[in-house]
Structure 1
Amino acid sequence: MKKLTLSLVVAILTAIIFLGWGLDTFFNEYQEQKGADEFSAYREIITPLANTLDKSDKLEQFVTTWQKHNQQKLELIPLAEFPLPASLRDNFYKGEPLVLESENVITVNQLLPLQQKVLSLSIYQQSKQEDNLGLQVALTTVFYAGILLCVFIWLYPLIKRLRLLRITAKTFGEGDFSKRIHISSTSYIVDIENEFNRMAIKIETLIEDNKLLSNAVSHDLRTPLARLRFGIEALSETNKPEAKEKYIQHLNSDIAEMEKLVAVLLNYARLEQSMVSVARIPVNLNSLVEECIHFNQSMHTSKLKNTDFSLQAKQPIIKGDIHFLSMLINNLLNNAQQYAKQNILVSTQNIDGFVYLTICDDGPGIVPEKRIELFSPFTRGQNTAEQTGYGMGLAIVARIAAWHRAEVSIGESEKLGGAKLIVKFER
């Protein structure tokens, strides 16, 4: 919005200053040109008139007759009563006409050397101003029309972008959630357009997640519910204590599996709600990674894999929420523990002002065409039949990374041959 306000102020000031200055310059030049032309006409009249009257013996009679038939005042002034400064006197005495201008009157004066008098022709300024009234009205009209034109030129791209925003929002509201606004660097409302696109991406992601969650719930809950129904029916039909105990154990197992799935769904929902309250404090990534590795090793004592960590980054301080960052690292470590055969390698590095966290394993790896999908909820890699879980780990990692303006990517480990997960943090 700063760009919008600044561009409006610049457009208005530019229109007022340059248009006003241009018209004012034109008017002054016109006035000077007109004045010069008008004076030259009077000079051409008064010079031969003065030469003629200087030799006439009916000078007074001619002046009286002139006054009766012309609006311009013509009079004779004795030379002694017509004082001039030295700068004007020489040219005047040589026979050049002299133009003098006061507030209301312009006088054109010519010397009569034989009569020793000055012939003075007076022109009233009022008539001159009345002649310029039409021009002033026209220039004023041009000035305001020019300002309106500049404002319209400024408004047109704004109206165009607002219309595009309205059409895109309407199309998005009708169900085309892939609709986005093409961002132009010259747009006045680029901030609003970027926010709309971010909102659209978020809404589309939420809708896709909702579909995935719905499908996953209907699929993953259907099996334990069917087993529960079968177990209850079998329990009601048998009277053998051993069979009843067996069915009750199966029922408890199915209920525990359903509770685990519901807990996973609730945790993911809580992550969605926590997006607006992510605290940002300086966090030493090395220390946090070491804590998470020790915690992960204590949780997987029965199937512990060799975890080697190489924390090459020196004092890698990033800003984020330590609770969610711990969740991100633990999910990556759990993923590595689940798919690794025997070895896991964890490292941190400082490269070009960014901090990289890399976790590699010697498992089967992830094929390139499957890597993007794994960041969606309830999506799992190959050999899923041999592994437990619901495919939520990397979805949670991607969501937490997005809150911290970090980037997550999947590659292939050069050292271990399995998957390599990389998180790129801003410092």
Structure 2
Amino acid sequence: MRIIPSLRGELLVWLGLPLALLWGLSVYTHYQSAVHAANQAYDRSLLASARTVAERLVVRHRHLEVDVPWVVLDSFERNMNDQLFYQVISPEGKTLSGYDDLPTIPPTSQLSEIYPALVYFYDARYHQQRIRIAALWQPVNEAGVNGMALVLVAETLNSRQAFAEGLLRTALLSQSCLVLVTLLLAGLMLRRVLRPLRRLSRIVLHRDGSELTPLPSLPWSELQPLIIAFNRYLERLRSLLARQDRFSADAAHQLRTPLAILKTQVGVALDSERPEQWRESLQGMRHTLDDTILLTDRLLQLARMKARHGEEKPLTNVDLADILRDACFSSYTAARNKRIDLGYEGQQNDEVKGDSLLLGELCANLLDNAIKYTPIGGIVTARLYAGKLEIEDSGPGIDSAEQEKALQPFSRFDHGSLQPGAGIGLALVKDICAWHGALISLDRSPLLGGLRVTIQFKPDQR
């Protein structure tokens, strides 16, 4: 679960957290730079004080002495607003002047490389105060006194801290203003950028459930694939609903006729008192019910076939020759009743990738149509060669201008046939071919003169 449900809020958080981290890092580095700059500036003054004291070293009567006027130290203190301490140690290690308890040079201190002098700078504590010390070695070679005198000059850190804190306040103010202005501009930018998305959300929210018009495009290339995909989905949904509406209307029309005939036949039977009339009406009702059952079964097959267009296709290797021969055997009785010569030509084995049940339904529908519209004593031939299935008959055939229409549901042509039907068989065959990726074509048989249906399976399906 997201803690922040708002896209703008989450973007601001993801932008604000790195900015906060960068702000803290920037303030820390500014403070360290300020401390370093303060040390450099005030160390120079501290070294100047040490050199002033070193210049007061003199040798009198073969003894090293130092005379440091307090007025000199007072001037440094007034300029730096800090307390100043000093100590002068002779080459023999004796304190000549100043405070004799100043902290000595730590073993870890190193000579400064910034100034051309033998000077150490180090921090220490003195009388509960933090101090900064400059330890300057001053060579002495005069009147028999040889060695290195050590001059220690220390000061408190008030001026340094005030300088560093001033720079820190400046950094805090500038960096905080920068972060706040950045977040404010980012919020305004996100509000402006997300305005079309909010408008699109309002359009979708207030859209009527039956409206399937495409969504308007957004000015961002990143969201264009989503809008295009959604509009394509709406287009497929419109097409599906249109097919369903057309199918429902056509199915209702086709079922209304046999039901009306059935009602009439029942009414005739009820109005008559003759058993012969009852028997004739019952036989008519039986034929009507058979036609209605056949029509309903074909309608359900067509609906299931259309529903399977979006499914994953679990294709397996099946022997199309076996399926076609089984369909011929199943249709043999119907062909014999009309004295039709039903034959099979072609290979004994021909494997393709497909669904055996659907391919069986395809062959059964083609043979049923061919037998239904072929006159008594005619010929129907099923042929299979290298993934190419042909079924041709000696019936009336279909004119070339009407062949495309024949593949649509509920398309029937009056050729004088007394066989019932709803014009769904070829439409179902077309859908099965589309599901398998096969090609279907209709033309006139050059051998038998009737309709020839050709189904060609692609090479990758074999």
TM class by smaller structure: 0.5 to 0.7
Q: Percent identity?
A: 12
Could you say which structure has the larger radius of gyration? 2
Aligned 1:11-410 pairs, distance under 5 A: 24=21, 28=25, 32=29, 35-36=32-33, 39-40=36-37, 43-44=40-41, 46-47=43-44, 50-51=47-48, 54-55=51-52, 57-58=69-70, 59-62=72-75, 64-65=77-78, 70=81, 81-83=104-106, 88-92=110-114, 94=116, 116-118=151-153, 122=157, 123-124=160-161, 132-134=171-173, 137-138=176-177, 141=180, 170-172=209-211, 179=213, 186-187=225-226, 190=229, 200-222=238-260, 245=276, 251-268=281-298, 270-271=300-301, 272=303, 282=316, 284-286=318-320, 287-301=322-336, 302-311=338-347, 314-318=350-354, 320=355, 322-339=356-373, 342-347=379-384, 349=386, 358-361=389-392, 364-365=397-398, 367=400, 371=404, 374-376=407-409, 378-380=410-412, 382-386=413-417, 388=419, 389-398=421-430, 405-407=435-437, 410=440
The one-letter code sitting in structure 2 at the alignment partner of 1:347 is L
Distance 2:342 2:9 in 1: 70
Distance 1:288 1:202 in 2: 31
Note closer, same or farther for the CA distance 1:411–1:51 as it changes in structure 2 (3 Å cut). Answer: same
Distance 1:167 1:228 in 2: 52
Secondary structure of 1:89's aligned partner:
coil
Q: Is the helix fraction higher in 1 or 2?
A: 1
Secondary structure of 1:359's aligned partner:
strand
Distance 1:368 1:93 in 2: 106
Note closer, same or farther for the CA distance 1:131–1:344 as it changes in structure 2 (3 Å cut). Answer: same
TM-score by length of 1: 0.63
Unaligned runs of 5+ in 1: 350-355
Distance 1:187 1:267 in 2: 40
Distance 1:255 1:54 in 2: 131
Shift of 1:314: 4.7
Note closer, same or farther for the CA distance 1:379–1:328 as it changes in structure 2 (3 Å cut). Answer: same
CA-based RMSD: 5.5
1:353 aligns with none
Note closer, same or farther for the CA distance 1:163–1:136 as it changes in structure 2 (3 Å cut). Answer: same
Shift of 1:119: 5.2
Contact 2:366 2:429 in 1 (8 A): yes
Distance 2:27 2:242 in 1: 65
The one-letter code sitting in structure 2 at the alignment partner of 1:61 is D
TM-score by length of 2: 0.59
Contact 1:357 1:424 in 2 (8 A): yes
Distance 1:106 1:21 in 2: 36
Contact 1:76 1:118 in 2 (8 A): yes
Contact 1:360 1:413 in 2 (8 A): no
Distance 1:218 1:112 in 2: 118
Distance 1:73 1:188 in 2: 74
Count of aligned positions: 387
Contact 2:370 2:392 in 1 (8 A): yes
The one-letter code sitting in structure 2 at the alignment partner of 1:296 is S
Contact 1:410 1:419 in 2 (8 A): no
The one-letter code sitting in structure 1 at the alignment partner of 2:346 is S
Unaligned runs of 5+ in 2: 54-68, 90-102, 139-149, 218-222
